[in-house]
Amino acid sequence: MIYKESGSIGGREVILFLVALPLLGFPAFWLLPERSLLAVLGLFFGIGLLAVAVAVVPLGSAALPALGFRSVGWRPLLWGTLGTAAVSIAVSQIGLEPQGVKQAMKIAHGPMALLVGLALLAGLAPLVEELVFRGLLYGWLAGRWGAGMAVIGSSIAFAAAHVEPAHVILVLPLGLMFGWLRWRSGSLWPSLVAHMANNGLAVLAAALLKV
């Protein structure tokens, strides 16, 4: 079954997010006592999560459903994760190695660092990215221009946010997969679970191989 979006996310929520992100982010980064990669990434995604929360405050109790938090069975979660793994394996054959990914994966060296890396890169980061791109942006685009534009637009924005050209190329197919899962299920859960699993496996692989 394919679900039609209700379009509860509007331009107001997107604008609130875009305003809240720098207003919260710049002072926080200015006051950050440590500039390590771990600290910067943690603060960046923490501010992103807070900005999403600020953006959906006007929606009240409708905020979570509007972002896509609708219950689904286990099958969409399983098949979404397996499909994402297949896409990730296929994309890895391109042979590109973004420097940003290499630096991020170094967080996972050592037992304690591995736990922190999993919490950050396989927990907080995919949560924030899914809320922003498959929650806010997808919801707004779907309400204005339909699901097709929502999948494509949110995927392009997701890839572009990774900045480094090699990373953009690698991430775009995954973004399309996540967008398709969001559309097909009508829920944020399949793309969120698949995204977390994909990042978690990458962190574990980096720790085992000591990238």
In a domain, residue 191? The reply is yes
Mean predicted confidence (pLDDT) in 37-60: 94
Residues of the chain with pLDDT > 90, as a percent, come to 69
- CA dist 155 and 133 (Å) reads 8
In a domain, 1, yes or no: no
Residue-range definition of the domain harbouring residue 84: 11-209
Q: What is the 3-state secondary structure (H, E, C) of 102-118?
A: HHHHHHHCCHHHHHHHH
**Residue range 128-175, pLDDT digits in tens:** 999 999 999 999 999 999 999 999 999 999 999 998 888 899 999 999
Instruction: With respect to residue 94, please indicate whether it lies within any of the assigned structural domains.
Output: yes
| Per-residue confidence band for 180, with pLDDT thresholds at 50, 70 and 90 | very high
Q: How far apart are CA 106 and CA 202, in angstroms?
A: 11
The answer to whether residue 3 sits within a structural domain is no
CA dist list (Å): 39 to 31, 36, 44, 45, 70: 12, 5, 8, 10, 32
Burial class (CB in 10 A: 0-12, 13-18, 19+), 208: exposed
Nearest C-alpha neighbor of 126 from the set 203, 59, 23 = 203
What per-residue confidence (pLDDT) applies to 113? 76
Lowest mean per-residue pLDDT among 27-41, 129-143, 177-191: 27-41
CB atoms within 10 A of CB 51: 23
User: What confidence category does residue 100 fall into, taking pLDDT thresholds of 50, 70 and 90?
Assistant: low
Q: Look at residue 51 and tell me whether its pLDDT is greater than 90.
A: yes
Instruction: Tell me, yes or no, whether 153 lies in a domain.
Output: yes
Average pLDDT over the chain reads: 89
Residue 5 domain-assigned?
no
Task: Give the Cα separation of 6 and 9 in Å (integer).
Answer: 8
* Counted domains in the chain: 1
The reported pLDDT for the residue numbered 151 is 98
At residue 202, the pLDDT reads 87
Round to whole Å and give the CA distance between 126 and 130.
6
pLDDT value at position 105? Answer: 62
Question: Does 2 fall in a domain?
Answer: no
pLDDT tops 90 at residue 93: no
Query: What is the structure's pLDDT at 109?
Result: 65
- What is the pTM assigned to this prediction? 0.91
List the end-to-end C-alpha distance of the chain, in Å, as a whole number.
41
